[in-house]
């Protein structure tokens, strides 16, 4: 098999994005465009990848190397070439030539602003290139939609003969429906002279890479192509709207992958997932759900709907009932949350725990089988196995200056409407009477009660009613 190098063009200004940043560092699905392109390029296993930089090169290089540090592609394969002024895509490839020195084989050229091309498409292009022993091969996009892409011209016998940029098109050429998505495989020995001798006699006074097609045709070199009708995967990002289109396509791909893997998604239109979210087969995700950051859902998790889940791990068969917010938390197997629960950072719930309606937790560890079913604030606390937290229990963790912890042992029972004024502890098996304000530690198996004794005055209410009537 022929050797492979990839050149990625990333020196441009991105004028149409309306920002002064190089557009290849803008993000789609939390990842800069250039990192998407380099990840795909690396999947082809090239000998080297040359990134052409120019406008704000430091920012682009920083972005490229942070992707390498994350392990998306090996740092050793990346080389940078400087295009000192942005005179067009052809000039950018010319700037890459010194970094291709000594390389003999096929050069795949990709634009840094075309981020979501599938690696399978690139592989088919390379296979066709080799099978046809072509000098130059390209992807041809068939699309009825009007776009600003270059138009592909064919000669009388149907061979690709030229690419005309939209700005240089005659009115008749504008209507051509064979478009240039900008993905090429070129023989290295043809590429070097072809880009070195480009002219800029066109509407934009730029050196167009696309002009190497005409040169190849005129020299009688063989030009090969593959056709795609999937405008989405070759979508270039030139405007803010294009960026949103790319975002949407990636989201749709992610949802389809999940559905194919056995996840039930009840309303994909109202589901928002960050790209690194993992959802195992057998999970059911209801409508109006956002799952963000590095969250993961294991097999059989059910989310009823209307949830925001951020950087959280949810174990097998757990249920998140309607309307919950969960952040930086861990939820154990078969545990049930909600409806209307708020799990803040540092919440760790064991197996078969219950956190019910209007319960807020923060830095709270609830061990297996613990239950807090209604209306509680559990902050900076630990609740032992099988303990029951009654309705309206509050851990008073803040004295206005510092935060303090509450520790509740196993099998304890905290009666409704109890305030636990931290720092305080309740021993295993202890019972706290409803309505208590607990300020001192309660030992194991003890009763803790701090309630004014109840008074009964027989007939008092009836007499009061009578006296009010008379006056
Ligand atoms: C280019 C193609 C067009 C194709 C379209 C597909 C040319 C002349 N035109 O147009 O036929 O339909 O892509 O998306 O190639 N860049 C540099 N240096 C430069 C200019 C650009 O590195 O001097 C880089 C940019 O950073 C960008 C890429 O090359 O990543 C493409 O440049 P862009 O200006 O977006 O070209 P298009 O107008 O989209
Ligand atoms: Mg472009």
Ligand number nearest CA of 169 is: 1
The structure's pTM equals 0.84
pLDDT at 17: 79
Tell me what pLDDT residue 80 has: 98
Give the separation between CA 188 and CA 440, rounded to whole angstroms: 81
CA of 114 to the centre of ligand 2 (A): 7
> Catalytic site residues?
374
Residue with tokens 């990192």: 35
400: its two tokens: 């206005």
Determine contact, residues 320/337, Cβ cutoff 8 Å: yes
Counting ligand 1 atoms within 8 A of each CB, the residue from 55, 60, 89 with the most, and so the one to mutate, is 89
Which residue has its alpha carbon closest to ligand 1 atom 22? 11
Peptide bond into 339 cis (omega under 30): yes
Ligand 1, from 115, 200, 236, 240: best to mutate by most atoms within 8 Å of Cβ?
Answer: 236
Tokens of 105: 């084989």
Please give all residues whose CB falls under 5 A of ion ligand 2, grouped by chain where several chains appear.
113, 236, 238
Ligand 1 contacts CB of residue 313 (under 6 A): no
Tens of pLDDT, residue by residue, the chain (471 residues): 689 999 999 998 877 877 788 999 999 988 999 999 999 999 999 999 999 999 999 999 999 999 999 999 999 999 999 999 999 999 999 999 999 999 999 999 999 999 999 999 999 999 999 999 999 999 999 999 988 999 999 999 999 999 999 999 999 999 999 999 999 999 999 999 999 999 999 999 999 999 999 999 999 999 999 999 999 999 999 999 999 999 999 999 999 999 999 999 999 999 999 999 999 999 999 999 999 999 999 999 999 999 999 999 999 999 999 999 999 999 999 999 999 999 999 999 999 999 999 999 999 999 999 999 999 999 999 999 999 999 999 999 999 999 999 999 999 999 999 999 999 999 999 999 999 999 999 999 999 999 999 999 999 999 999 999 987
Cβ of residue 26 lying under 6 Å from some atom of ligand 1? no
Q: Which residues contact 202 (CB under 8 A, 6 or more apart)?
A: 165, 167, 168, 208
**Among the bound ligands, the one closest to the CA of 14:** 1
- 116 CA to middle of ligand 1, Å? 16
Secondary structure element (H or E) that encloses residue 100, with its range: helix 89-100
Ligand nearest the Cα of residue 138 is 1
Q: How far is the CA of 420 from the centre of ligand 1 (A)?
A: 65
| pLDDT attached to residue 133 | 97
Task: State in Å: Cα 430 to ligand 2 middle.
Answer: 69
373: nearest Cα among 344, 335, 347: 335
Is the shortest distance between the CB of 409 and ligand 1 below 6 Å?
no
73 lines ligand 1 (CB under 6 A): no
Contacts of 301 (CB under 8 A, 6+ apart): 279, 280, 283, 284, 314, 315, 316, 317, 318, 319, 320
Centre of ligand 2 to C-alpha 304, Å, is 42
Ligand 1 touching residue 112 (CB < 6 A): yes
Q: 37 CA to middle of ligand 1, Å?
A: 14
What is the Cα gyration radius of the chain?
32
Q: Whose CA is nearest to atom 36 of ligand 1?
A: 89
DSSP state of 423: S
Q: Note the pLDDT of residue 1.
A: 60
Give the residue, by CA position, lying nearest to ligand 1 atom 12. Answer: 149
Q: Which ligand approaches the C-alpha of residue 206 most closely?
A: 1
Question: In this predicted structure, what is the pLDDT of residue 390?
Answer: 98
**Does the beta carbon of 165 sit less than 6 angstroms from any atom of ligand 1?**
yes
Q: What is the 3-state secondary structure (H, E, C) of 92-124?
A: HHHHHHHHHCCCCCEEEEEECCCCCCCHHHHHH
Q: Is the CB of 367 under 6 A from ligand 1?
A: no
């Amino acid at each position: 098999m022929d050797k492979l190098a990839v050149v990625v063009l990333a020196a441009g200004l991105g004028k149409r994005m309306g920002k002064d940043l190089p557009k290849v560092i803008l993000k789609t699905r939390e990842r800069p465009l250039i990192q998407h392109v380099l990840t795909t390029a690396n999947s082809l296993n090239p000998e080297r990848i040359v990134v052409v930089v120019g406008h704000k090169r430091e920012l682009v290089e920083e972005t490229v190397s942070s992707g390498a540090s994350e392990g998306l592609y090996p740092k050793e394969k990346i080389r940078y070439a400087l295009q000192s002024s942005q005179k067009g895509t052809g000039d950018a490839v010319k700037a890459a030539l010194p970094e291709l020195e000594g390389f003999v084989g096929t050069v795949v050229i990709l634009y840094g602003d075309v981020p979501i091309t599938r690696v399978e498409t690139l592989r088919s292009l390379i296979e066709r290139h080799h099978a046809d022993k072509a000098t130059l091969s390209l992807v041809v996009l068939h699309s009825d939609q009007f776009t600003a892409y270059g138009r592909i011209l064919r000669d009388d016998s149907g061979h690709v003969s030229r690419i005309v940029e939209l700005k240089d098109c005659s009115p008749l050429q504008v209507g051509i429906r064979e478009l240039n998505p900008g993905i090429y495989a070129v023989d290295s020995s043809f590429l070097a002279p072809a880009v070195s001798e480009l002219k800029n006699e066109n509407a934009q006074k730029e050196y167009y890479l696309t002009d190497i097609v005409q040169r190849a045709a005129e020299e009688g070199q063989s030009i090969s192509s593959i056709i795609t009708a999937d405008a989405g995967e070759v979508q270039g990002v030139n405007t803010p709207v294009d960026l949103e289109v790319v975002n949407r396509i990636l989201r749709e791909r992610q949802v389809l992958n999940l559905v194919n893997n056995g996840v039930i998604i009840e309303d994909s239109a109202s589901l928002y997932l960050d790209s690194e979210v993992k959802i195992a087969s057998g999970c059911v995700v209801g409508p109006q759900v956002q799952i963000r950051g590095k969250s993961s859902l294991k097999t059989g998790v059910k989310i009823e709907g209307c949830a925001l889940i951020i950087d959280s791990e949810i174990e097998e068969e757990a249920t998140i009932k309607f309307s919950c917010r969960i952040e930086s938390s861990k939820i154990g197997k078969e545990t049930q949350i909600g409806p209307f629960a708020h799990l803040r950072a540092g919440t760790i719930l064991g197996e078969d725990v219950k956190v019910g309606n209007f319960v807020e937790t923060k830095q709270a560890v609830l061990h297996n089988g613990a239950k807090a079913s209604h209306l509680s604030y559990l902050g900076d606390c630990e609740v032992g196995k099988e303990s029951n937290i009654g309705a309206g229990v509050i851990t008073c963790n803040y004295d206005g200056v510092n935060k303090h912890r509450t520790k509740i042992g196993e099998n304890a029972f905290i009666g409704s409407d109890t305030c636990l004024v931290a720092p305080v502890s309740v021993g295993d098996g202890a019972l706290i009477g409803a309505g208590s304000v607990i300020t001192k530690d309660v030992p194991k198996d003890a009763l803790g009660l701090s309630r004014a004794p109840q008074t009964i005055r027989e007939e008092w209410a009836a007499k009061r009613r009578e006296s009010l009537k008379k006056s």
